[in-house]
């Protein structure tokens, strides 16, 4: 059980309920023996780089949670070093909820889903929004993607954790479905060609 994540997420109120339901001591032992998980490993970096979207959670000045989906081509959420992530934030509906929240509280929570393989990753960090740094925005942009990058967001990673696959429904993206269907389509084309050839030979024999 990662230590850094537990330091953040196991608040006194959470621990009270762990006590009540009997999991407190087990978690205490896991945390004592577990790795810090405050740095992005190679495997976690690969997982992040393969995602084409993630849920970004911020907190309003009144303490309300807010979650918004950020989508883009795989790799748009970049791993800049073992404790820094970054992405070019695209122009959207001009409400500026996430970025507005970040001006008052820079804490973020990122939730990354891999539905096809039933995997999920949670990341806690501090975000910095750069509205006037064209060089940084340019560095974070994914070449060829149509989204209009308006600002750069960097995230200093504090902790990450994974959960088991339980209750994650299996879903495939359009791209993943296309990859699965491709050999079937090729086989159908092959069989159609064979059928057409067989029909042609049968017609010739009739003459």
Ligand X SMILES: Cc1cc2nc3c(=O)[nH]c(=O)nc-3n(C[C@H](O)[C@H](O)[C@H](O)COP(=O)(O)O)c2cc1C
Q: Rule CB under 6 A: which residues touch ligand X?
A: 68-71, 90, 92-93, 95-98, 147
Q: How near is the Cβ of 107 to ligand X at its closest, in Å? A: 15
Burial class (CB within 10 angstroms; exposed 0-12, middle 13-18, buried 19+) of 88:
buried
With the CA atoms of 27, 30, 35 and 36 taken in that order, what torsion angle do they form, in degrees rounded to the nearest 10? 20
User: How many angstroms separate the CA atoms of 82 and 68, rounded?
Assistant: 25
Residue with tokens 């086989």: 187
Q: How near is the Cβ of 58 to ligand X at its closest, in Å? A: 8
Closest CB to ligand X among residues 44, 149 = 149
Measured from the Cβ of residue 85, the count of other Cβ atoms closer than 10 Å reads 23
Q: How near is the Cβ of 112 to ligand X at its closest, in Å? A: 14
Closest CB to ligand X among residues 10, 96 = 96
Closest CB to ligand X among residues 37, 58 = 58
Closest CB to ligand X among residues 6, 88 = 88
Q: How near is the Cβ of 146 to ligand X at its closest, in Å? A: 8
Nearest position to ligand X, beta carbon: 92
Using alpha carbons only, give the angle 107, 75, 148 rounded to the nearest 5 degrees: 80
């Amino acid at each position: 059980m990662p230590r850094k994540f537990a330091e953040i997420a196991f608040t006194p109120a959470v621990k009270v309920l762990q006590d009540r339901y009997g999991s407190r001591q087990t978690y205490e032992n896991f945390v004592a023996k577990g790795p810090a998980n405050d740095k992005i490993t190679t495997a976690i970096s690969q997982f992040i780089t393969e995602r084409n979207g993630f849920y970004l959670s911020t907190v309003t000045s009144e303490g309300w949670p807010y979650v918004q989906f950020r989508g883009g081509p795989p790799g748009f959420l970049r791993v800049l070093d073992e404790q820094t992530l970054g992405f070019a934030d695209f122009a959207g509906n001009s409400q500026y909820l996430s970025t507005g929240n970040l001006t008052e509280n820079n804490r973020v929570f990122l939730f990354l889903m891999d539905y096809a393989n039933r995997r999920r990753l949670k990341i806690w960090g501090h975000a910095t929004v750069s509205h006037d740094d064209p060089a940084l925005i340019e560095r974070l942009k994914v070449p060829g993607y149509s989204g209009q990058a308006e600002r750069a967001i960097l995230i200093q990673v504090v902790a990450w954790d994974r959960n088991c696959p339980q209750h994650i429904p299996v879903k495939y993206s359009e791209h993943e479905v296309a990859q699965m269907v491709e050999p079937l389509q090729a086989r159908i084309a092959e069989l159609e060609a064979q059928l057409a050839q067989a029909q042609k030979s049968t017609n010739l024999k009739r003459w």
